[in-house]
Amino acid sequence: CVGQHNVRDCHCGKREREREMITMNTRVAVVTGANKGIGFFIALQLGLSGLFTHVVLACRDAERGAAALADLQQRVAAPTSYSCVPLELGNAKSHSQFAQQMKEDFGKVDVLVNNAAMAYKNADPTPFTEQCAPTLNINYRGTVDFTEKILPLVRLGNDPRIVNVASMSGHLRQLRSDGLRKKLHLP
């Protein structure tokens, strides 16, 4: 390669060598649902810990993600940097795009914190039977699919970890039907 280096058209291996150097010298954490609440404070603490050079905020809402990113960048000094990457949990295409972005940017993920979820408020008039499918599709199936998509990158991480955040709302005792509770309970 002579002159300006265009990594997309180049076959000299420079991009791969640069990525290997970045991979060896960095620790990357991904936090889903990091634009507010527990996810935001997990991202903050990961940055303050000094154990990560980069923390990725995986957020559905771009506006809230940008606000969280600005806030974290003010609170946490170098060497930790932050970025916000779109992720719509429960959308397989979004999961694949996110994983591809992580592969291109970092080549690995050292820690994945599955924090994103959705919940209906107690006052929501939506019948319980209509709440089940969307909740399961995002909180369970979406989390499983996203984790499976990013798992190959986590396996490449240094001392890799996956942390799944849950709430008391996931307890079977929340179900009103004793029969349904017994059916879903594992022995």
Q: What confidence tens digit (pLDDT) does each residue in 10-61 have? A: 555 555 545 454 455 789 999 999 999 999 999 999 999 999 999 999 999 9
- For residue 132, how far is the Cα from the chain centroid? 23
Could you tell me if 89 and 76 are in contact, meaning their C-beta atoms sit under 8 angstroms apart? no
Partnered with residue 162 across adjacent β-strands are 112
Could you tell me if 58 and 30 are in contact, meaning their C-beta atoms sit under 8 angstroms apart? yes
- For residue 183, how far is the Cα from the chain centroid? 31
| pTM score | 0.79
Q: What angle do CA 179, 181, 187 make, to 5 degrees?
A: 105
* pLDDT tens for each residue of 57-106: 999 999 999 999 999 999 998 889 999 999 999 999 999 999 999 999 99
